[in-house]
Structures are given as C-alpha cells and as structure tokens.
Amino acid sequence: MTIRTNGQIIAGTSDGDVVKLTGNQTIDGIKTFTSKQIFKNTVRPHDFYAPNIDTSTTPSSTQSYYSDFLDKNGVRIGVIGVQKRTDGTERIYLQIGNEGTIDIRKDAQGVVSTQAPSSTAANSIVTHVSRSLGSNGYFKLGNGLIIQWGYIGGRTIGSNSEVSSTITFPTPFSSTGQAIAAMTSTGNYYASTQFGFSNITATSMVLHQYNTATGGTASLSAKWIAVGY
C-alpha cells in the first residue's frame, strides 16, 4: 500500500495499513496488489494521465489508454478506456468482455453523441451507429432502423406531364421494406403535383413527380424521406 500523490491514499482492506508518502512521488514498474484497494482523496478526483494521447492534435494513428479488468484466470471481464482517433474523434468507452462497446464521443466538429452495439432486443440501448447530415443524409440507429432523406431541385415539368429521377440512397438499406414519402419544396405553387415511386431496392428508387395542372410549365423541387431497415 502506498500513495501515488500527496493525499491520494491506497489502503488495503485486509489489515487497513497505509504507508503514506509526502509530496508528489513517482512509483516505477508494475505493482501487484492482492487485496482490494481503496483510493481516497479529500481534495479532488484522481488524475489518470494518458501519456500517448494529445487531444490538441489529430494523431496519424489511433491512440488509446484503457484499464483491462480480468478474472482470476486472466479472462477479460471488461474494459474502460479513452481514445483519440485519426479523424479527430475523442471517445470514452465501456466494454463487456470482448463484445461491442458503449461509448460517449465527440467528433472533430465538437458534436457529442453516444453509441451502443446494434441489437433488436426489446430492452437494448438505442443510440445512433452512424449519420450523415445535410440536404441528402441519413441517421442509422443501433437497433437497425435507418431514416434517410434527400432533395431534388430545379426540375421543369410541363402541363399534365411528369418527370422521374433515379435516387441513390445515402446509405443502403438491408431490405426493401421502406416507407417513403415526398413533398414539393419550391417552385410554382399553382402547379398541382403528385408523387409516385417505382423500382425500389435496398440502394435506390425512382421518384416520379406529376404536374396535373393546366396552367403551363412548372419548375419544381422535391424533398423525400425513407424509413426502413
């Protein structure tokens, strides 16, 4: 038993003995404690330094610092760690055994989000797995649900006619059971428009837009949304 820094006591529960050092001291090498250790600090929480991580720069290779918890046979129980990735993402994560992790992350733009393993179980944690935000984008949830959207602009449609466009989804679905809807977003609003969909696959669809008015040619844009797995 010893102190890592002044006021940071490591006490054994077997006999309660404490060896207290004064001032800030460095303990080199690997130390093994066979009894339960209690960290006490009355001033502030512990500082755990990650010597290979610099949050002020983006690394050329992923940098990690973690604590690996093993059972008496050396089998992993879980992991608690921090990481700085090559894309600038910083994350704190929890891992059970060797399975998927649950984490809180901040991307290079400062957006904070959570992530959990994909699961269809009723009591699973539903967070987002990935996303792409913009006029054409998607949001993929941990339970497999995908919400996608897009924009098509500047299409000229004559009176009592239609125009069609093939749309590639921003990210592919795993099946073709999507629910899809569309709406007119800009253009000549005197035109009466209708929408239809065909050739729907897991990766694309054809969007049909009809101008049923007799008032002449219309310049129309459309926004669409698709929900599925």
Ranges of each domain in the chain: 1-47, 50-115, 146-228
Structure tokens at 179: 């629910």
Which class is 146-228 in CATH? mainly beta
pLDDT more than 70, % of the chain: 76
Least confident piece of the model among 178-187, 203-212, 218-227: 178-187
- Which band of pLDDT confidence, cut at 50, 70 and 90, is reported for residue 87? very high
Q: What is the pLDDT of residue 191?
A: 54
Sheet-wide strand order for 112-115: 63-70, 76-84, 90-96, 101-106, 112-115
Pairwise pLDDT comparison (82 vs 46), residue with the higher score: 82
Higher-pLDDT residue of 128 and 160 is 160
In this predicted model, what pLDDT tens digit does every residue of 122-144 receive, in sequence order?
Answer: 677 777 778 888 899 999 887 78
Chain mean pLDDT for the chain: 80
Q: Specify burial of residue 102 (Cβ count, 10 A radius: 0-12, 13-18, 19+).
A: middle
Structure tokens at 57: 């720069």
Return the pLDDT at 76.
92
Q: How confident is the model at residue 37 (pLDDT cuts 50, 70, 90)?
A: low
Query: Minimum mean pLDDT among 112-126, 141-155, 174-188: which range?
Result: 112-126
pLDDT for 1: 38
Give yes or no for residue 39 having a pLDDT over 70: no
DSSP type of residue 56: T
Question: How would you classify residue 226: left for phi > 0, otherwise alpha for psi between -120 and 50, otherwise beta?
Answer: beta
pLDDT of amino acid 29:
77
Q: Is 20 helix (H, G, I), strand (E, B) or coil?
A: coil
Contacts of 161 (CB under 8 A, 6+ apart): 210, 211
pLDDT band at 215 (very low <50, low <70, confident <90, very high): low
Report the pLDDT value the prediction gives residue 186, as an integer from 0 to 100: 60
20 has pLDDT over 60: no
Q: Please give the pLDDT value at position 62.
A: 94
User: What pLDDT band is residue 179 in, cutting at 50, 70 and 90?
Assistant: very high
